[in-house]
Amino acid sequence: MSSERWKPSTTVAAIIERDGRFLLVEEDTPEGLRLNNPAGHLDPGESLVQACARETREETAHHFTPSALVGVYLARVQLPDGPLRPGGDDVSYLRFAFCGQLGALEPSRNLDKGIVRTLWLSAQELQASRAQHRSALVWQCVQDYLRGQRFPLDLLYTGEGVHALPGGSA
């Protein structure tokens, strides 16, 4: 038995729908161009809601205000062997997906490294493009959103000490 504790990577994702279309990002990954919800990792010193707003702004140049939790997802991904990932990688992600209001665009803002562009796809186009999704969670989160799955944000608690961590934003 290993003495190392298993720790999944905590991530956040924004499920953003406007006029029947969903905002996605096209990312350059070691596996090629992939589609993803605006998403990323929780940083020290921030709440899950803050992380989602930040990641959406960094990846789409839009402000985003989460209004509900769509779901919490645990997924294991076996990433293939390659020049950027010798031996492959076995990663588990704990994803918190949010829906909310898309705000103003910052047209002069550069998108995060690796983000090629943003695009709007219908649910049908998104489903048809599943082979290009970064993970199965892209479509699963949208399906849950379309089913009306919503949980109040006060379901999530962030202790005061989180914002006082070294490197935190407060």
Q: What is the pLDDT of residue 78?
A: 74
What is this structure's pTM?
Answer: 0.88
Position 138 in a domain: yes
Q: What is the mean pLDDT of the chain?
A: 91
Please tell me the predicted confidence (pLDDT) of residue 31. Answer: 83
Is 169 within the bounds of a domain? Answer: no
Q: Considering only 21-25, 61-65, 89-93, 107-111, which range has the smallest mean pLDDT?
A: 89-93
In this structure, what are the phi and psi dihedrals at residue 137, rounded to the nearest 5 degrees? -65, -25
State the DSSP string of 92-151: EEEEEEEEEEEEEE-TTPPPPTTEEEEEEEEHHHHHHTGGGBSSTHHHHHHHHHHTT--B
Residue 82 lies in a domain: yes
Residue 4 lies in a domain: no
- % pLDDT > 90, the chain: 76
**Does 38 reside within a domain?**
yes
CA distance 141 to 84: 28
Reply yes or no on whether the pLDDT at 120 is more than 90.
yes
The CATH number of whichever domain residue 126 belongs to comes to 3.90.79.10
Q: In the predicted model, is pLDDT for residue 27 greater than 90?
A: yes
Query: In this structure, is residue 168 part of a structural domain?
Result: no
53 falls within a domain: yes
29 vs 104 pLDDT, higher one:
104
Instruction: Give pLDDT tens digits for 31-85.
Output: 899 999 999 999 999 999 999 999 999 999 999 999 999 999 999 877 666 666 5
Q: State which residues form the domain around 18.
A: 9-156
Q: What pLDDT does 15 receive? A: 98
Q: How many whole angstroms separate alpha carbon 63 and alpha carbon 146?
A: 22
State how many domains the chain has: 1
**149 assigned to some structural domain:** yes
- pLDDT for the residue numbered 91: 82
pLDDT at 164 over 90: no
What pLDDT does 7 receive?
87
> Is pLDDT of 167 > 60?
no
Better-scored residue on pLDDT, 168 or 108: 108
Structure confidence at residue 170 (pLDDT): 46
Dist CA 166 CA 51 (whole Å):
17
